[in-house]
Amino acid sequence: MHSYDTLLAAITAQHGSTREVHDPATGALIGTAPLQDVAELEAAIDRAVAAQTAWAALADEERSRYLHRAADAIEAAAEPLAELLSREQGKPLNGPNARFEVGACAVWLRAAADTPLPVEVIVDDGENYAELHHRPIGVVGAISPWNWPMMISIWQIAPSLRMGNTVVAKPAETTTLSGLALVAVMNQVLPDGVLNIVAGPGSTVGDALTRSPRVGKIMFTGSTGVGKRIIEASAHNVTRLTLELGGNDAGIVLPDVDAAAIAADLFWGAFINTGQTCAALKRLYVHDAVYDDVLEHLVAFAKDMPMGVGLDEQNVLGPLQNRGQYEIVDRLVESAKASGARVVLGGDPDHGAVGNFYPTTIVADIDPHNELVTEEQFGPALPVIRYSDLDDVIALANELEFGLGASVWSADRDAARTIAARLEAGTVWINSHGGLHPMVPFGGAKQSGYGREFGVAGLKAVAEPQVVSG
């Protein structure tokens, strides 16, 4: 599968119901994706159940070797995978986009393979002895989103396989081909039945996956609303859950910053993947003393970032992946305009143009309770809110139901860390926003979900702890 055409042919040679897949940048037909049903899901669960015992019986080192082989396979097919991802999701090949995402798949696979998780001796006092082991759960259902469809799938698949589980994956409905391609490449080297994928609607296939008594764990990344439905659907079976849900991340800029020095990092914190990232910077609070300076440098950096068709090598920003998301961003920016907020960049989409392109937009002098601030826009529109009192801005940052990430920007790291301790978020970055590391646990607070991914915590999350005492 070392060419785009070969890869596409392998995943679109399906029988039964299909749907057309179109490029969100050009509207061009890419191919057809299967529309599978609950019967096909049950068959996939059958395969996963049948394969799980033998997979779990392998030595931990052997499962790790399989993950390295899967990473090798992804690297060998990296360019066709990136091209398909760019065509279907819309993100450009270059910048922190399609090639970056495919590369991250291999990085996270290798990290999951190589992270040690030894047996822990809990008590050994001469009279009592107890060990803590981490056993496989069984079958893991992995439900991935459309914004980072390959990378987030790996975040779910890699630790699950490492710990001896088998996986049934369900890709997002608007990035089905990306999910199918990733699994097809990995399945060139994995044993039969270990990694399965079913492409169907969330309302039928996704719901049945979360309700299945044969699935011991569900991993889901997506909206808080869908996450709540998964909680309800899985409750009858007491299914284990890891939920990485919506985010409306706040950034707080203190008055001691060098505005020119932080402009690029502010931009990428907010606009990576054209703003379509759960842990992107989505509301920026800037102290009055540096407000105009930060705006000036941020706009100067942002206005030169090329947006366009993903396969054009010079572009680093692409379209919104689907028209529904485009309409959400447009509605929220129009709400800000109507309130009297000042648009300092963008905000003027060509609604009749081909593709779901919404221009890079920065909105200043906006009320902190405007919809563009309080709702997750999930697109290239950043509200910048002026503040003067630190206690007040911390209260504003914490008042929403979301708590995925946050950031503090300051020349004084100790002061920034003191503020970080007061923020209600799963991760608080200092002088950056949104950077992830495969060994650093990641997950949300409040209604941004529960459970942690990555590193040792991520391995433990897809295992059943068992104490052996005596």
Taking 80 as the threshold, does the pLDDT of residue 13 lie above it? no
CA distances from 454 to 190, 214, 248, 307, 438 (A): 22, 25, 21, 31, 5
- Check residue 396 and give left, alpha or beta (phi > 0: left; psi -120 to 50: alpha): alpha
Q: What percent of the chain has pLDDT over 70?
A: 99
246: amino acid identity, one letter: G
- Taking the C-alpha atoms of residue 438 and residue 232, their distance in angstroms, rounded to an integer, is 30
In sequence order, the β-bridge partners of residue 406 are 250, 428
375 as an active site residue: the answer is: no
Taking 90 as the threshold, does the pLDDT of residue 15 lie above it? no
Give the residue carrying structure tokens 């601030």.
373
- The predicted-structure confidence for 24-53, as pLDDT tens digits, reads as follows 999 999 999 999 999 999 999 999 999 999
Structure tokens at 117: 């998780």
- Taking the C-alpha atoms of residue 402 and residue 377, their distance in angstroms, rounded to an integer, is 13
- Taking the C-alpha atoms of residue 105 and residue 145, their distance in angstroms, rounded to an integer, is 15
Q: Which of 83, 101, 173, 278 is catalytic?
A: 278
- The predicted-structure confidence for 318-346, as pLDDT tens digits, reads as follows 999 999 999 999 999 999 999 999 999 99
- Taking the C-alpha atoms of residue 363 and residue 339, their distance in angstroms, rounded to an integer, is 11
Q: For residues 139-157, give the mean pLDDT.
A: 98
8 A C-beta contact, residue 443 and residue 425: no
- Taking the C-alpha atoms of residue 131 and residue 123, their distance in angstroms, rounded to an integer, is 7
Contacts of 29-32 with C-beta under 8 Å, sequence gap 24+, read 30/84, 30/87, 30/88, 30/177, 31/177
In sequence order, the β-bridge partners of residue 409 are 253
8 A C-beta contact, residue 127 and residue 62: no
- The predicted-structure confidence for 279-305, as pLDDT tens digits, reads as follows 999 999 999 999 999 999 999 999 999
128: amino acid identity, one letter: N
Structure tokens at 20: 């057309």
- The predicted-structure confidence for 383-405, as pLDDT tens digits, reads as follows 999 999 999 999 999 999 999 99
Q: How many CB atoms lie within 10 A of CB 428?
A: 21
- Taking the C-alpha atoms of residue 93 and residue 81, their distance in angstroms, rounded to an integer, is 10
8 A C-beta contact, residue 430 and residue 274: no
- Check residue 247 and give left, alpha or beta (phi > 0: left; psi -120 to 50: alpha): beta
The pLDDT value recorded for residue 455 is 97
Structure tokens at 84: 């398909």
Angle, CA 52 vertex, CA 50 and CA 56 arms, to 5°: 150
Q: How many CB atoms lie within 10 A of CB 264?
A: 13
- Taking the C-alpha atoms of residue 82 and residue 100, their distance in angstroms, rounded to an integer, is 8
- The predicted-structure confidence for 61-101, as pLDDT tens digits, reads as follows 999 999 999 999 999 999 999 999 999 999 999 999 999 99
Q: What percent of the chain has pLDDT over 90?
A: 98
105 as an active site residue: the answer is: no
What DSSP designation does 354 have?
S
Q: For residues 144-169, give the mean pLDDT.
A: 98
Averaged pLDDT of the chain: 97
* Domains assigned to the chain: 4-245+448-469 (3.40.605.10), 249-430 (3.40.309.10)
In terms of DSSP bridges, do strands 381-387 and 281-287 run parallel, antiparallel, or are they unpaired? parallel
With cut-offs at 50, 70 and 90, classify the pLDDT of residue 142.
very high
- Taking the C-alpha atoms of residue 409 and residue 210, their distance in angstroms, rounded to an integer, is 40
CA distances from 35 to 173, 205, 432 (A): 9, 10, 40
The pLDDT value recorded for residue 12 is 87
- The predicted-structure confidence for 207-251, as pLDDT tens digits, reads as follows 999 999 999 999 999 999 999 999 999 999 999 999 999 999 999
Q: What is the 3-state secondary structure (H, E, C) of 18-85?
A: EEEEECCCCCCEEEEEECCCHHHHHHHHHHHHHHHHHHHHCCHHHHHHHHHHHHHHHHHCHHHHHHHH
Q: Which of 173, 244, 376, 453 is catalytic?
A: 244
Whether the predicted model's global pTM rises above the 0.85 cut: yes
The pLDDT value recorded for residue 2 is 78
Listed in sequence order, the residues at least 6 apart from 27 whose beta carbon sits closer than 8 Å to its beta carbon are 354, 355
